[in-house]
Amino acid sequence: MEAFRRHLRDRGLPVTQQREVVAAAVFFAERHVSVGDIEQGLLRQGEHVGKATVYRTLELLQSADLIQEHDFGEGFKRYEPLAARGYHEHLICLRCGRVEEFASERFERMSTLIADEHGFRHHHHRWEIYGVCPECQRRDPTARRPPTPQREEHER
């Protein structure tokens, strides 16, 4: 939070209570929050913050490198704090939208190797694995089959 305040001051922007509550909503979230999640959370706390302020604050947090924006193809973005969590990758359920995190040293090393092979100096990377989570598989056993059309043709 102190880094965010500094970032605002450096840009000559006022440190408002509204900006702070939006920042806190992302910093202390247990999961990858959407703008809708943030708004609902603030309403529950009795904070009335306009949508424009939420978006603007998210932009500021991103420009300060304090949060990361994700697009998991749901039609809206999700946000999570960058500090203290360390690098991790995501598994995204195509049915319920649940997002899980994992960290893999093998993935890290592989990314560097792939970059090397293409003459890139590795800076950072993002892995996103899309599939069906265990709960959705339990609810619908047919979800366990890979949904690739090619495969279904072979089975016929």
Q: Give the binding site for Zn ion (CB under 5 A).
A: 80, 93, 95-96, 98, 101, 133, 136
Tokens, residue 65: 């490198």
Using DSSP bridges, classify how beta strands 89-93 and 128-131 pair: parallel, antiparallel or unpaired: parallel
Closer to Zn ion by CB, 74 or 101: give it. Answer: 101
- Do the Cβ atoms of 133 and 100 come closer than 8 Å? yes
Cβ 136 to Zn ion shortest distance, Å: 3
What sign has the CA pseudo-torsion 79, 85, 86, 89? Answer: negative
Closer to Zn ion by CB, 15 or 136: give it. Answer: 136
Cβ 80 to Zn ion shortest distance, Å: 5
Closer to Zn ion by CB, 5 or 95: give it. Answer: 95
| Four-point Cα dihedral 113, 118, 123, 126, nearest 10 | -70
Closer to Zn ion by CB, 98 or 125: give it. Answer: 98
Cβ 96 to Zn ion shortest distance, Å: 3
